[in-house]
Structure 1
């Protein structure tokens, strides 16, 4: 078989069928079945597959042929589908259920689009069984289904049309058919009108929760939101304990920008069932969306800690944090030397050159530049600001020593194993702060000194897609989360007690100004998300560190100022005046900064000088 044939599933299926015919001629039925299953998994609609499956059934008998396709776990999809077709001869609903399982597993394949399904007479099938079949089939299609998926599964819509005609008095069937039909709008524009018609008919036949939901979803998909809400309200009034109806309505209202109405509904649901997780999760996300106050998300984390068993997996916390610095990712660096580095192609960074910056910038940023541009001679103008080259408070962990304008690490490099461990754990993005903390768990096995060393000597990144400096900042953030897990610091204390870790992080946060400052503050913020008992202490530390940066920015550039503002707003129960100061700062993103001269962009080579001076 050529490479082209190997890439073509039809050609591969024909190869399997050729082997199956040889095995069948030899009377080797198990090998015949194995090759037929392989062919049907590759090309479920190929007529020759079904011809050979019929020949195998004629040789072995229906029951004998079914036994040749075992479905013990883990089941092979080809065995499941072949068995479904054989079973469908005498038990159509049983066969269809197995085909629906295959559809959920891989909805892009036309598992059910075969002649016996197209020829089924729904009048002789139980309508309740058909309804459950449609529910099973629609769950994997998408809402609505992508065009290719819809085309592969249009046979279910065809069966639903015939079933509704055959059983006009069955409410459950019509409701389920409505749920199915709205998935097919990409290939059948009239399917949405059918969904509304079937859903409305089912609801009128039997106005209960199920038929109401199917009808309401069809109305919403058809752009009739207020009608859909009316149907859902009626269903909730009839069954006040079904508070999940409120969560659905609230999401619809939020999508339409009607947040106040959505939250009123959720408040009513929570009053009815305070522990109902869907309402609590949705309400937290929508409240945060409305006012940006992180206390809603922290309250959700508290709820999760107190109610660990949920009805199903929720993504509201992740959705609320998504795309927000420090809530779902490390904040990007703001230093001018990193902006310069962005302008230099990675394959040109071995060249020698010179550049000048108008003011001192933080040590971690300068170390990244010197590592990436080893031939660069960087000149820093001005005098070293005293509040930048000395710790903000005495007594903390010293990470850097300054000699004039040059900073040197004050801690030795970590072991190679520690570097590899951090490299395998750290990443610039995470779902939410608690998820980042959980991801950092393996780092807890390292001694505190090793984790501190990783802050100053983070491993080099290996992903060229990441902007310069982002990986190093992520590694530093995870090293600080590792300090929260550090077994050495937590020895002899109650489980969950991070007092020693927080003392170390606070010392780093008030040490020499650096990216490590932000990383340490992030670690403190995460500790406060996890432990209500330390929130007052963390609020005080983070608030004071941000205010100090604001005061210093009156007479010099503080590149980590905006990042600290973001972290202040991520801190539970932040002092209102400090939160207002942080919001005002971040809202003035276009306001000119204190004067400073950035490095000039690279100029065309002239006597091998790759960086000009301004």
Structure 2
């Protein structure tokens, strides 16, 4: 297998090997193709389903092949890939019938079964593997299988046994902490992360778990900001983590536009119409959701090819976009402004000046978009946090007693670096029933011209 070999080439060679009477050599290539493009039904062929294939493959090789496939497809596997991956589970079934006490094969098979929704089979195989050859890895596989089955106390017991096998493997500490948290034992979970961080404060699995659980404990966005900082400063983590995205998902402004009735759209006279190319580029990134604020900032990078005057024109003329593509248009236009003049220090930058200009006037979709763009920038640039926090605090104070105070308060709770009184004011504002939102008279502040 060549590095980055095209999936089609791998699959073609696998089928040729099978046709030449060497299917056991072809299966690892086919699995590699499926790992690259898991939704493609590469394995839906008779030679893979042949009951003699599993017993022909050396069980250790099959276990390693399945483990690589599991790493590539995620846990659980996306629903669109389950059917295309199920033939590999059939191969493992046939192999287990022939090599029923091979612990590595049983554990790897359990991991694949778990990903494909075969939870009972995952528990059965992992349990057999752990009994056949007790080990740390066997207990981890068993713990994960129990977690997928919702049997959390048994999962915790298995993971504790894994720690006993290897007290220096801090990744298992993160697993124990996550399981304790799911059992509602958050204080114990945090103690496990603290114990691991005392040994290695930069161990990625524990850092991600610790920040996620701290945020779960008190809801303070600063834990997520610290996690984003860690991700930025450690681009070569052992594997991909989704803790930040999971914490931000469905949260107002952290993972997308807040739910509820939208505020009046901003309008302003601009001596230009946006070009079709500018509109097309904005539509390519626009949408009501994003993984987290740094992800939103990164997604808007392509808008560096749209001139600032056109981004402002798009703010003034959102009707130029089709209705289904208008959600969040103002947000993405403002995020696009952040990618212009990035060589300028934040405090003296044109991007800051333009966004501050958009904050004037009553609270509407444009002012919210501009404020969120500043908040998102504070997530990615620690040097801008003090300034952005001051801007957010001032805007919150100005609107605290107004009809649209909640809209600004939601943004404030997403901002890094706010002092405690400001954060408490924002939280209290959200708890108070919102006053009826009043339709604004429109905007007249966008007078920036192309020249």
Q: How does 1:105-254 map to 2 (within 5 A)?
A: 105-106=37-38, 111=44, 114=47, 117-119=50-52, 122=55, 126-136=58-68, 140=73, 143=76, 148=83, 152-165=87-100, 168=101, 170-180=102-112, 182=114, 186=118, 191-192=121-122, 194-204=124-134, 207=135, 209-254=136-181
- Give 1:330's match in structure 2, choosing from 248, 251, 257: 257
Alpha-carbon shift at residue 298 of structure 1 (Å): 0.9
Structure 1 residue 98 and structure 2 residue 33: aligned? no
For these two proteins, the number of residue pairs brought into alignment is 431
CA RMSD of aligned residues (A): 3.6
Confirm or deny: 8 A CA contact 1:177 1:198 kept in the other structure. Answer: no
Alpha-carbon shift at residue 224 of structure 1 (Å): 4.1
C-alpha change, 1:76 and 1:543, in structure 2 (3 Å) is same
C-alpha change, 1:241 and 1:159, in structure 2 (3 Å) is same
Confirm or deny: 8 A CA contact 2:248 2:254 kept in the other structure. Answer: yes
Following the alignment from structure 1 to structure 2, what is the Cα–Cα distance between the partners of residues 178 and 447? Answer: 53
Structure 1 residue 308 and structure 2 residue 158: aligned? no
The more displaced of 504-513 and 280-289 is 504-513
C-alpha change, 1:283 and 1:460, in structure 2 (3 Å) is farther
Following the alignment from structure 1 to structure 2, what is the Cα–Cα distance between the partners of residues 565 and 298? Answer: 18
Alpha-carbon shift at residue 571 of structure 1 (Å): 1.0
Following the alignment from structure 1 to structure 2, what is the Cα–Cα distance between the partners of residues 542 and 231? Answer: 47
Structure 1 residue 517 and structure 2 residue 367: aligned? yes
Following the alignment from structure 1 to structure 2, what is the Cα–Cα distance between the partners of residues 178 and 415? Answer: 55
Q: How does 1:118-517 map to 2 (within 5 A)?
A: 118-119=51-52, 122=55, 126-136=58-68, 140=73, 143=76, 148=83, 152-165=87-100, 168=101, 170-180=102-112, 182=114, 186=118, 191-192=121-122, 194-204=124-134, 207=135, 209-331=136-258, 334=261, 364=265, 409-416=268-275, 417-464=277-324, 471=327, 474-487=328-341, 490=342, 493=344, 499-517=349-367
Scaled by the length of structure 2, what TM-score is found?
A: 0.81
C-alpha change, 1:221 and 1:450, in structure 2 (3 Å) is closer
Following the alignment from structure 1 to structure 2, what is the Cα–Cα distance between the partners of residues 420 and 183? Answer: 38
Confirm or deny: 8 A CA contact 1:250 1:265 kept in the other structure. Answer: yes
Following the alignment from structure 2 to structure 1, what is the Cα–Cα distance between the partners of residues 89 and 284? Answer: 45
C-alpha change, 1:596 and 1:154, in structure 2 (3 Å) is closer
Structure 1 residue 569 and structure 2 residue 413: aligned? yes
Following the alignment from structure 1 to structure 2, what is the Cα–Cα distance between the partners of residues 508 and 475? Answer: 15
Confirm or deny: 8 A CA contact 2:374 2:388 kept in the other structure. Answer: yes
Confirm or deny: 8 A CA contact 1:505 1:524 kept in the other structure. Answer: yes
Confirm or deny: 8 A CA contact 1:277 1:311 kept in the other structure. Answer: yes
Following the alignment from structure 1 to structure 2, what is the Cα–Cα distance between the partners of residues 232 and 439? Answer: 38
Alpha-carbon shift at residue 459 of structure 1 (Å): 5.0
Confirm or deny: 8 A CA contact 2:10 2:32 kept in the other structure. Answer: no
3-state secondary structure, aligned to 2:64 = helix
- Give 2:422's match in structure 1, choosing from 578, 585, 599: 578
C-alpha change, 1:514 and 1:230, in structure 2 (3 Å) is closer
Encode CA deviations 1:121-162: one digit per residue, 9 max, x unaligned.
84x764423432443465559658978568644532432332
Alpha-carbon shift at residue 328 of structure 1 (Å): 2.0
3-state secondary structure, aligned to 1:75 = helix
Residue segments in structure 2 that go unaligned for 5+ positions in a row: 441-451
Following the alignment from structure 1 to structure 2, what is the Cα–Cα distance between the partners of residues 535 and 303? Answer: 16
- Give 1:82's match in structure 2, choosing from 15, 21, 28: 15
The more displaced of 306-315 and 414-423 is 414-423
Confirm or deny: 8 A CA contact 2:215 2:224 kept in the other structure. Answer: yes
Following the alignment from structure 2 to structure 1, what is the Cα–Cα distance between the partners of residues 201 and 259? Answer: 39
Q: Larger Cα Rg: Structure 1 or Structure 2? A: 1
Confirm or deny: 8 A CA contact 1:84 1:99 kept in the other structure. Answer: no
Confirm or deny: 8 A CA contact 2:204 2:238 kept in the other structure. Answer: yes
Following the alignment from structure 1 to structure 2, what is the Cα–Cα distance between the partners of residues 561 and 298? Answer: 24
Hey, what does 2:431 align to over in structure 1? 587
Alpha-carbon shift at residue 414 of structure 1 (Å): 3.9
Confirm or deny: 8 A CA contact 1:131 1:176 kept in the other structure. Answer: yes
Following the alignment from structure 1 to structure 2, what is the Cα–Cα distance between the partners of residues 595 and 152? Answer: 56
